[in-house]
Amino acid sequence: MKTAQLKTIEQNDNVSLYSICFNDNNISEYEDFLLKFKDNSELNQDFQRIIVALEKIIERGALERFFRIEGKMNDHVSALSLDSRKLRLYCLRMSDQILILGNGGVKTTRTYEEDETLSGYVMDLQRFDELLKQAQKTGSITIEKNMIVGIDNRVFEL
């Protein structure tokens, strides 16, 4: 069974960015995305634009208009993508102040569903979103302004 933990990536008074670590891995999905593309000369411009977009989100909040909806109507899955370019980073936009960053990659197919790797990233986020909703219902985690409370050492089973 796959397990997942939330790791805080960036946090300030305004916003918190988290990412998911699977199966006791110290490297989160977002850090894996950074490591995959940071030295990729072909995608360097796209990668840098996504990085700067995240810097703006840290300054301004995870406003809805910054994202493209990628999942289903009833989940929080969004993407940071660039017009007519292929690189995208998937995430769960929980609120203007809480963003969970997933993994991402180059979209070469018309929809992400046609790409096994990308649809895997989206499905992981959708499953994690469900687990967070359940944990909120039972009260084991709570969302307070810009923080998810109760995630320290919490292991989710996907």
Partner 1 sequence: MKTITNPLFRECLAQVSEKTRAEFNLSFEIADRIDAILKKKGLSQKELAIKMGKRESEISRWLTGRHNFTTNTLADISLALGEPVVCVPSDN
Radius of gyration of the chain (CA): 15
Q: Is residue 69 within a helix (H) or strand (E), and if so which, with residue range?
A: strand 68-69
Minimum gap (Å) between residue 130 Cβ and partner 1: 26
| Angle (nearest 5°) at CA 98 between 134 and 110 | 85
Pairing of the two strands 3-11 and 156-157? antiparallel
CA-CA distance, 126 to 106, in Å (whole number)? 19
Q: Which of residues 22-41 bind partner 1 (CB under 8 A)?
A: 30-31, 34-35, 38
- For residues 49 and 127, which CB has a smaller minimum distance to partner 1 in the complex? 49
Minimum gap (Å) between residue 70 Cβ and partner 1: 13
- Note whether 52 binds partner 1 by CB under 8 A: yes
- Note whether 136 binds partner 1 by CB under 8 A: no
Minimum gap (Å) between residue 134 Cβ and partner 1: 26
- Note whether 106 binds partner 1 by CB under 8 A: no
Length, in residues, of the chain: 158
What tokens appear for 11 in the block?
A: 């946090």
- Note whether 149 binds partner 1 by CB under 8 A: no
Residues that bind partner 1 (CB under 8 A): 8-13, 30-31, 34-35, 38, 45, 47-49, 51-56, 65-68, 81-83, 147
